[in-house]
């Protein structure tokens, strides 16, 4: 069975500092991996996706993530945090084919001025 572990339910960074949100996954087959962001009272917005192409994936709003098979990780990074990045971030995994997404518990990112 697939699973996702997000280390840290809450991460706080200063404006302009590096953002690093951690995600480890478990899957019996090569997975598809996703990061979604959720702002208060909104749905999930797709930030980026890994679907077996390049291992370094660039997404929207300056975010990127690197798929590391040996570490079963898909950590999300952004070089410089902005106040508007404050939100909840979810890592998700699925198997190729018509399978549902399995989500991590989420990481709430706070950005301090």
Partner 1 sequence: KAGVTQTPRYLIKTRGQQVTLSCSPISGHRSVSWYQQTPGQGLQFLFEYFSETQRNKGNFPGRFSGRQFSNSRSEMNVSTLELGDSALYLCASRGDSPIAKNIQYFGAGTRLSVL
Within positions 7 to 66, which residues make up the interface with partner 1, using CB under 8 A? 32, 34, 36, 41-46, 49, 51
The length of the chain, given as a count of residues: 113
Question: Exposure string (b/e) for 43-76, b if CB count within 10 Å is 16 or more?
Answer: ebeebbebeeeeeebebeeebbbebeeeeebbbb
For partner 1, the closer CB: 60 or 112: 60
Give the pair of three-digit tokens for residue 90: 């979810």
Is the CB of residue 22 less than 8 Å from the CB of residue 6? Answer: yes
Q: How many residues bind partner 1 (CB under 8 A)?
A: 25
* Residue closest to 16 by CA, chosen among 96, 80, 95: 80
Q: How far is the CB of 104 from partner 1 (least distance, A)?
A: 8
Q: How far is the CB of 86 from partner 1 (least distance, A)?
A: 18
Within positions 89 to 108, which residues make up the interface with partner 1, using CB under 8 A? 90, 92, 94, 96-106
Q: How far is the CB of 105 from partner 1 (least distance, A)?
A: 5
Q: How far is the CB of 80 from partner 1 (least distance, A)?
A: 27
Give the pair of three-digit tokens for residue 66: 């690197």
* Interacting residues toward partner 1 by CB under 8 A: 32, 34, 36, 41-46, 49, 51, 90, 92, 94, 96-106
């Amino acid at each position: 069975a697939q699973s996702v572990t997000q280390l840290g339910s809450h991460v706080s960074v200063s404006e302009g500092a590096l953002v690093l949100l951690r995600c480890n996954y478990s899957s019996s087959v090569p997975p598809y991996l996703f990061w979604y962001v959720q702002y208060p009272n909104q749905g999930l917005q797709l930030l980026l996706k890994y679907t077996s192409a390049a291992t370094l994936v660039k997404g929207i709003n300056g975010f990127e993530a690197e798929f590391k098979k040996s570490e079963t990780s898909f950590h999300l990074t952004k070089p410089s945090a902005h106040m508007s990045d404050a939100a909840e971030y979810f890592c998700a995994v699925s198997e190729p084919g018509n399978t549902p997404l399995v989500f991590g518990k989420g990481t709430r990112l706070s950005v301090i001025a």
